[in-house]
Each structure stands twice: as structure tokens, then as C-alpha cells.
Amino acid sequence: MKKYLISVFFPFISIIPKDQTIYVYAFESYRSVYPKKTILVGEIKSKVKRAEIIDKESPIKEYDLRKDQVTVKVINNKGLKVGQKLYVVYKDPHHEKFKNAYIVGEITVVSILNHPFYGLVLTGVGNLLRVREGFFVVRTLESENIEAAYLLKRKGDTYFNDGNYEKAIQEYRKAIHKDSDLVEAYVSLGKLYWTIYLKENSFIDLQSTLQQFRIAWKLKDKFRYNFDYYEFINYYFSSLLEYFLIEKYKKPKHPETLAMLLDLLSLSEECEKISLSIECKMAKGISNFYLMNFYSSESNPEERLKYDYYKQETGLILKSIEEEIYKENYKKLQQFLNGELKESTSYIDIPQYEFVFIKYYYQLYQNLKMPEQWKEIQKLKELLLKHCDLFFTLTKEQEKYQKFNLEILEIYNKLR
């Protein structure tokens, strides 16, 4: 049975079937000769000024320059996505045909969600001086590609899950061809190359992974859901860290190395904005540790200050993680660390984190030499030995950790 909505497009009450495609011929101005053929999306139900910080020093501070935010009751949700541009149109109630609508504004979609009163709605922002409640929102015909792109992306996901990587790549590329802003397609393609890299250890696949993730990072404002964004950040961080660990031995003090480290830190900070997960802290701890090491051999005052800053940050983060990791919130992670679960549910490579933890605290251990620090030395030694044992358990018979194993083994032998 079809659901119906009341439309106010006409001077008389008309009934519009929900999700029906309704074409609107909208003119850009009253002088326009040729209208744009668009599709009705929905009706504006509210308009408010967006919450923004006003520049008190602005020479035009007497004007409210904040963007307007509108809530649109969605009639047709096909072809909608976050970050999309839509038109606001005004329909003169004395005209009976849609072609008499005029374009009076443009909005960018911020979110698409279910409202407790209106049902499916979208929120959008723009400069909407001439727009009022009751105006309508439309999309261009080109946005039909968005829905087709999502279908191709989902088809690619099916091939990916079935292990048919060649077919999956084809479908993802078709989806991107349909909609070059479809961020989820770039992420899925990156995850596919990352999966291949983990199986075959091909550096080319790692480079392909990062190529797709870099594009997705530029389109990050177009994610529909925070969970997808969170998952992407962690995949991007893991693959970029892998690339850094391979390249840092070749170019230890190169500007490109520093750029990678700052990108890793940016990813970890972005992770913390959307999640309180301990994995975000782990990522931030790893980033700060390697930034500390990057500046460790520098001698000029500015870079020594950076070394001291990243050293302090690393210590605070690692201490916080050590205190929190045993809480109930991280039960699954702790079960994995105790050997109770065969596979980790963590996005972060736990052995990499353990390596950083041991290396950092061993540096502190070496600096504790005074007799009155004996108790602190013993406590730190016990902590280090516990984490060394955990690291060896997690990396047992795994060739990829061979270099790290040798470094930790040397520390372990000195502690014993």
C-alpha cells in the first residue's frame, strides 16, 4: 500500500505518492530562457542560523555572516549523499506547473537521518537569505549516477567478500566512474589492496592501498556514517604506518618521512574527535613516539623543544592506555592479549604498539640510576618484562616482526 504526502506546490491540496519521481523545471532567474530539469527531493521544514564562532574583529561585524542551516523533509531519497549540492526552489502558488519554479538558493547536504516527527530528513547549509520554510529542494538529473554508483559499489563488496578480487576491482572502478566523489568506493578499493598486501606482501599493493586512501581522505566530508569514517581512519593509519616502517630505514631524516609522521598524527587526532576508543589513543601514542625519535638526534633549540614535547606526549598517552586497558570497556582486547581469543578485534596492530611501549619505557629505565630510585627501577623492570613476554607471544613465528623481535630480545636479555 502506497504512503502519501500532502503537497503545497499547487493552490489546491494535491496528493503525492512517497518516493515518486517528480520532475521540476526550475529557472535560475525570471530572465532565464531554458530551465534546469531537476527532481523533487523534499520540503524545507525549518531554517536557522548555523552555530559558528563569529569573528569579533571583523570590519563587518554588524552583519550575521553565519551560514543558514535547513531541515528538509525528504520525499524522494534516491541519489542523495552527504556533501552533495542541491538547489532550493520557489514555486509561485498561482502557477499550476512545476516548470514555473525559480532557483533561489543552493545547499550542501550535511547529514541524512530519521527525524522522530518528520521521518526521513536531510540537513543542509548554505547562504539562504531569500529562503523560507515551505520552499522546496531539488537535485539535478546528474545525481541519478549516485544511486547507480552505490549499487555498483555494493556489487563490488559481494565479490570482495567472496574472494573474487579481480571482479571486485572492476565494480569499484565502475562505481567511481559513475560518481567520482563516492568516498566509500575508494575506501573499499583501498581495503581490497590492503587485504592482498597482507596475504602476498607486495609493496605495489601497499602503494595502491595508500593511493586510494589518500583520495578518500580528501573526500572525508562525504562519509554518510561516522562508523564508516572511523573504520577508514584506522585502515588508513595501519597501512600508512606499515609504509612508514618500511621506508624510514631508507630515509630516516627525510622531509617525506616527517610528512608521513604528521599524517599519522593527524589521523590519530581525527580518530579521537569521533571516538573514545583506546585504539585512537594507541595510534596517537605510536605517532608521537616516532615523531620523538625523528627529532632525537637534532641539536638546534627549536627541534630539541619538539623532541621534548613529543616525548612528554608519548609518556602521558602510554600511561593513560596502561591504566585503561584493563577496564571492562576493553574486555575483548584484554582477552586477546591473554590468549583467550584467537584473533584480535582491534584495528591497531597490537605488536606494533607493544614495540613502541617497550622502546619508550626502556629509555626511561636506562635513565633511572640513583640509589633512591631503586623501587621505581624494579617496578619499571617488571612492567617491561611483562610487555616483552606479551610481545613475544603475539609475534611468535611471524616473519614480519623479525626486525622488531631482535630489538626487543636485546632489551629483554639486558633486563634479565
Q: Give the residue extent of every domain in the chain.
A: 4-144
pTM: 0.75
Asked whether the beta carbons of 282 and 321 are under 8 A apart, the reply is yes
Q: What gap in Å lies between CA 313 and CA 305, rounded to an integer?
A: 12
Q: What gap in Å lies between CA 147 and CA 19, rounded to an integer?
A: 14
Give the pLDDT score at 266. 97
Which pLDDT tens digits describe the chain residue by residue (416 residues)?
443 333 333 333 334 445 567 888 888 776 666 777 888 999 999 999 876 555 555 554 555 668 899 999 998 888 888 888 899 998 765 555 545 688 889 999 999 988 888 889 999 999 888 888 989 999 987 777 777 888 999 999 999 999 999 999 999 999 999 888 899 999 999 999 999 999 998 999 999 999 999 999 999 988 878 889 999 999 999 999 999 998 876 666 788 889 999 999 999 999 999 988 889 999 999 999 999 999 987 668 888 999 999 999 999 999 999 888 766 545 666 666 666 666 666 788 888 999 999 999 999 988 887 777 788 888 899 999 999 998 998 888 788 888 899 999 999 998 88
- Closest listed residue to residue 351, CA positions, set 315, 385, 396, 319: 396
**CA diameter of the chain:** 92
Give the pLDDT score at 344. 60
**101-118 core/surface letters (b: 16 or more CB in 10 A; e: else):** bbbbbebebeebeeeeee
Q: What gap in Å lies between CA 265 and CA 320, rounded to an integer?
A: 17
C-alpha cell recorded at residue 110: 550535511
Specify the DSSP class assigned to residue 328: G
Give the pLDDT score at 163. 93
